[in-house]
Structure 1
Amino acid sequence: MPKVLIVGDSAVNGIDHLFPLTTDHPSIENLIIHIGANDLAKKQSEILKKDFSHLLSTLGNLKIKVLISGPIPKAGRIDENYSRLLMINRWLIKECSSKSVNFIDNHKIFWERRHLYRCWS
């Protein structure tokens, strides 16, 4: 039986429907939730923060270890979306820490490492 479940969505508010998967798989000990960056295009940072806060509060009800996998920056592009991504990433680091949720800082992992963006076929 699997001990780790990895779920994700391109937007924060799409994650809620994935939580029943944890009850479908009682052997799960770790849940990794990857959040995409599609919400950044809406340019509504405060609403995005509220959505993340709601998600983090919901995670507190789960009886398993949870990790949030943060948004991945686009390779080599600095624009308005990059600034929003960096801002929300910094906010997530603090917010996850305050809620005792582990955070995977994909920005730190992927930034200026173009070789990690290769497509394998």
Structure 2
Amino acid sequence: MSLGWPGNVLGFPLEELAQIGLHHTAGWLTVRRKHRTQPVGHHQPVHVSNRFSPLNDAPTDKPTMIIGSSIVRNVALDTPATIVKCLPGARAGDIKSYLKRLAKDKRKYSKIVIHAGGNETQLCQLEVTKINVASVCKFPKTMSDSIIFSGPQPDWTSDGMFTHMLSFNRWLSRWCPENNVGYIDNWKTFWGKPGLMRRDGIHPSSDGAALLSRNMANFISPP
């Protein structure tokens, strides 16, 4: 920056002005600014923050999962954040394998409802069915706050199947409470109501699927 005062500038001799950083050149007064730098040790850090949290850090409610064989194909719940996964022909071991894949992705659920056992029971190996069901119920405890087992409906395909399914249901009604697993007693609500089952005697009809859905919904979120 230059100030145009010739000769004595502002009443001060030029020698004195030079000592304070003012220089006279061709009748002009030139100001040379000195840049001072603070020592690094005295530099105050600048704190930068973002008051908006990233989307992936926002808390989200863990969903409820219903997983089972073709019995749950038409199950539908009005409960928010409910996922229904149907694995046609699945046995307890197949459901456990599917849950293991989800566990590798660190999936978490508030509740997991399992409907299985019917396809094993058709093999007339009740003790094997018990072992498999116990295994699949214990594994998801690592990925869910609550495990619930949806019990079977009466099977009218043959006297042998009816007997096996009845024994399986009785065992479940005792085993689940003893092992901190929720138990939905579908047998009681389906008993004596043939219209709730299809002609094959295995799969629920549309009314049966609606009842199965209500049984699950009432257990998950009691009215």
| TM-score for the superposition, normalised by structure 2 | 0.46
Pairing partner for 2:183 from 88, 103, 120: 103
Q: Are 1:7 and 1:18, in contact at CA under 8 Å, matched by a contact in 2?
A: no
Pairing partner for 1:39 from 120, 141, 145: 120
Q: Per-residue deviation at 1:98? A: 0.6
Pairing partner for 1:81 from 157, 161, 173: 161
Distance 1:110 1:85 in 2: 13
Q: Per-residue deviation at 1:77? A: 5.3
Distance 1:119 1:40, change over 3 A: same
Alignment identity in percent?
25
Q: Per-residue deviation at 1:78? A: 5.6
Q: Per-residue deviation at 1:53? A: 2.1
Q: Which residue of 1 aligns with 2:63?
A: 3
Partner of 1:42, secondary structure, is coil
The letter of the residue matching 2:118 is A
What are the superposed Cα offsets for residues 41-76 of structure 1, whole Å, 9 maximum, x if unpaired?
2111111111122223323333321111112223x5
Q: Which residue of 1 aligns with 2:195?
A: 115
Distance 1:111 1:78 in 2: 16
Distance 1:61 1:2 in 2: 14
The letter of the residue matching 2:68 is G
Q: Per-residue deviation at 1:34? A: 1.1
* Higher relative contact order, chain-length normalized (CA < 8 Å, sep 6+): 1
Q: Are 1:68 and 1:101, in contact at CA under 8 Å, matched by a contact in 2?
A: yes
Runs of 5+ unmatched residues, structure 1: none
Q: Are residues 1:54 and 2:135 paired?
A: yes
Q: Per-residue deviation at 1:35? A: 0.9
Distance 2:106 2:66 in 1: 14
Q: Which residue of 2 aligns with 1:14?
A: 94
Partner of 1:15, secondary structure, is helix
Q: Are residues 1:71 and 2:71 paired?
A: no
Q: Say which structure is richer in helix.
A: 1
Runs of 5+ unmatched residues, structure 2: 1-60, 70-89, 198-204, 208-223
Query: In terms of Rg, which structure is larger?
Result: 2
Distance 1:101 1:38 in 2: 21
| TM-score for the superposition, normalised by structure 1 | 0.80
Q: Are 1:37 and 1:72, in contact at CA under 8 Å, matched by a contact in 2?
A: no
Distance 1:45 1:36 in 2: 9
Q: Per-residue deviation at 1:38? A: 1.4
Q: Per-residue deviation at 1:90? A: 0.5
What are the superposed Cα offsets for residues 79-104 of structure 1, whole Å, 9 maximum, x if unpaired?
11100000011101111111010011
CA-based RMSD of the aligned residues comes to 2.4
